[in-house]
Structure formats: C-alpha cells, structure tokens
Amino acid sequence: MEQTIQKVLDDHLCCNCGTCAGVCPQQAIYLSLDKHFQVYEPHICSDACSGCGICYDTCPGHYVDFKNLNRDIFGKEAEDILLGSYLGCYIGHAIESKVRYNASSGGVVTGLLIYALEQGIIDGALVTRMNKDRPWEPEPFIARTKGEIIEASKSKYCPVPANIMIKELLSSQEDEKFAVVGLPCHIQGVRKAEQVYKKLRARVVLHIGIFCSHNDTFWQTDYLLKSMDVSKGNIKSIRYRGAGWPGTMSIQLKNGTDSSVPYHKAIFPHVLWFNAMNRCLYCCDLTSELADISVGDPWIPEVMSREEIGQSIFMVRTEDAHNLVLRAVHDKRLNVTPIPAEKLKGSVSGETKKVDVQVRMSFREMIGKNVPDYNTDLMAPRPHNYIRSFIPLISSVCSSNIYLRPLGEKVVDLGSWLSEMKQRGSEK
C-alpha cells in the first residue's frame, strides 16, 4: 500500500489546498473544519481508499520539486532566486472601471479571465467566491460566465481548498479548456496533479497565481467580526477587499445595513501573522513561481502615495501567457506598463520566504518535526533573520493556543489602535 495524505496530516504539513480531495480517483477523501485550529482537515474513508497513493504524490504540503517542475514547465531551472522564472514584469489594471474598482488591486486577474473567456481561449475558470448560505466560508467553483468571474473577484483571507475542484476539471468535456486561479500552494498542487493526470494538463491552459506571504485561519474572520460587533447569524455577505485600493473590508447584514473597516485596520492582525496558518511558516514561494502569470498588490512607494482605484503588479512566465496579455492590451482590456524586476522585488519582500523560512525549518527539525522538501535554492540567513523569523512563529502559536490567544488578541488590539492613531496623524 502506497503512502497516503495521512502521513502529511501526521506531520502537520497540510496547507489546506484541497488537492488530495480533488485528485482521489475513489473520491475517498473529504474535508471538514477543525474547530480548534480553524482550518480544514482532510479525512480518508478507509472503506473507499484503494491505497493508490495519488493523494500523497500530488500533495504540495510535504514535497515540491521546484527544480524539476521548472524544467518541465519553463524548460529551465529558475534563474532568479527571489522571483523564479519570468519573461517580464508589469504594473497595470483592467480597463473596465467597475472591474478595476471592485477588485482587490486593479482587476488584472478578473479582466484577463473575462477576456480569455470571451475570446474562446477558456471555457471556464477555477475560482473562489464566498458561500451564499455561510458567507464567512469560501466556495471554490468553475466560473463559466463573466458574471460568475466577477463574483469571484477580491481576496479571501481564510483557508481556501480550491483544488477540490480538480475533480470537476477531470470530469469535464474532453475538448474544454480552463484557467486556474490560486495561491502558490494551489498552483503547486495543480502542477503536481498534471504530472499524474495528463488530461488535466491538456485541459488547464492558464495558471494564474496570486502573491501570498501567508494565509489566515478562520480565527482571523472571527477576530474581525468580534471587533466589529457582528454576529455570524446576521451576515448576508462578506467582502474582504474592494471599493478602490487598498480597499475596505465590508459586511452586509441581513437587516440591510453595512459595516466596514478600512483595509489598514482589517489587515493589521494579518501583518503580524496573528491567526496565520502554521504551515505557511514553512513556505518558500511568495510569488507563485509555477504559475503562467503571477499577480499581486503594488506595494511600491510611488504607487502607494497616489493610487486610490487600483493597480496590479505582475509577472508573465510563459510565452502563451505573455501573448495573452499583449492581446488583451491590444484589444483595450488591460492597461499595462513594463517595470524593472528590481522594483517588483521591492514590492514583494521575497527575502522573508527565501531566508526566514530556512531559519524556521531548521528550528522545526531541531525539535524533531519533519519539514517540507522543496528542492530549490534558498538564501543564507544573516543575524537579523534569526530574530525576524521567530516573530511570525510566536504570533501564530499564540493565536492557536486556547490559553495564549486572549493575551494575543489584547496585544493585537493595542497595536491596531496605535496603527490607527498613526494613520490619522499622517492624514492631517
């Protein structure tokens, strides 16, 4: 019997991507919410499991062979240790004003998906929206219309098992083509699954990766709802971003009223890694290095000082993706400007993923726990990395410990208040 996803769970390396449930040929794996850690947990139905090991082989939680996957996808190993393989770096936005304004940062992903759909390049896209019945939970699905693509726009600061929908891609019509949108772990899982299922590789023609420092547990949503004095039972919809840039977190209540929090306040616990998923502490991929196109926020001083509607910063990594962007620009769907790679590096702070993660993995091994294997080049830590790398670790542990969490929330509350006072002072 081959190794199964249970090994990943036992090693506490599950990244909540959903790949295992999406690729299981027996449909023997399902996900449920772990109420203590507030993340999804895979479960294997032993009666249905055939022991094929596909769930383990495709899981990005324990192993991602970056060097081999780079050779397979891009024809060479990554030349840039911080960004991976790429053909060009850009900043831009969707031309359609509503798409741009209501997206997280410029609407390049949404605009590009709509364009690809209307041009017949794809028949649908694996994306994520918030569940209508339980609006604090994500709902991965295959969007097949412009309206559905728009419905899935904006960031989701919670666990998203998007790759459970791989099974829908595998069962689709033979001639159908799809885009996949996800975080680095989702793209890693899809790429690994494509090595097992050749028909999946033929059907997924566009991989769009979102920059990600880390994702949050559902404790993050609970913390924000508590700070806004909102009960889950009164919620009609949740929007984590949108309405300009960097946006606001907005909650629509069943009584018709809205409650909102400015982005800088809503994101504060996230910045401190409070409520962060523990597995994210050991991830080395910030820019979705295995995607065709990688997209994120432009945290560049000259953009931050003046931008209010939204811009996306992105890299194109493959020729097909590059041609798609150029076509969208030619047909006036996107407005883009080339930028130097160094400017993009300044926006993403990739060093935290290539250096700090190495310190945390070394510590994890010292206490006898397994770490993920990436087969990629990382950077040697310097003295300050040893200090900086433990702040997220301590913060994440505090947020997931029933005894330490109340104290951690008080510290975050104080920090958030100080940050808000500083923000108000800068606006005067």
Question: DSSP readout, 27-79?
Answer: --EEEEEETTTTEEEEEE-TTT-----HHHHH-TTTB--HHHHHHHHHSS--S
Residue 50 to residue 46: CA distance in whole angstroms: 8
Distances (CA, A) of 227 to 6, 230, 236, 259, 350: 36, 8, 18, 11, 31
CA triple 288-294-295, angle to 5 deg: 120
Q: Which helix (H) or strand (E) holds 20?
A: helix 19-23
| Residues 128, 352: Cα–Cα separation, whole Å | 27
Residue 89 pairs in a beta bridge with: 315
Whole-number pLDDT of residue 1: 63
What is the spatial distance between Cα 332 and Cα 149, in angstroms, rounded to a whole number?
19
Strands 312-316 and 39-44: unpaired
Q: What pTM did the predictor assign?
A: 0.96
Query: Residue 20 and residue 59: Cα distance in Å, rounded?
Result: 6
**pLDDT tens sequence for the chain (428 residues):** 689 999 999 999 999 999 999 999 999 999 999 988 899 999 999 999 999 999 999 999 999 999 999 999 999 999 999 999 999 999 999 999 999 999 989 999 999 999 999 999 999 999 999 999 999 999 999 999 999 999 999 999 999 999 999 999 999 999 999 999 999 999 999 999 999 999 999 999 999 999 999 999 999 999 999 989 999 999 999 999 988 898 889 999 999 999 988 888 888 999 999 999 999 999 999 999 999 999 999 998 888 888 889 999 999 999 999 999 999 999 999 999 999 999 999 888 777 899 999 999 999 999 999 999 999 999 999 888 988 899 999 999 899 888 899 988 988 888 887 777 666 666 65
Residue 312: the pLDDT is: 95
**Where is 126: in which H helix or E strand?**
strand 124-130
Whether 139 contacts 238, CB under 8 Å = no
What is the C-alpha to C-alpha distance for residues 99 and 95, in angstroms, rounded to an integer? 8
pLDDT at 49: 96
What local confidence, expressed as pLDDT, does residue 326 receive?
A: 98
Q: Is 11 exposed, middle or buried (0-12, 13-18, 19+ CB in 10 A)?
A: middle
CB 255 within 8 A of CB 169: no
Q: In the prediction, which pLDDT does 250 show? A: 93
pLDDT score, position 283? 97
Backbone angles phi, psi at 295, to 5 degrees: -130, 145
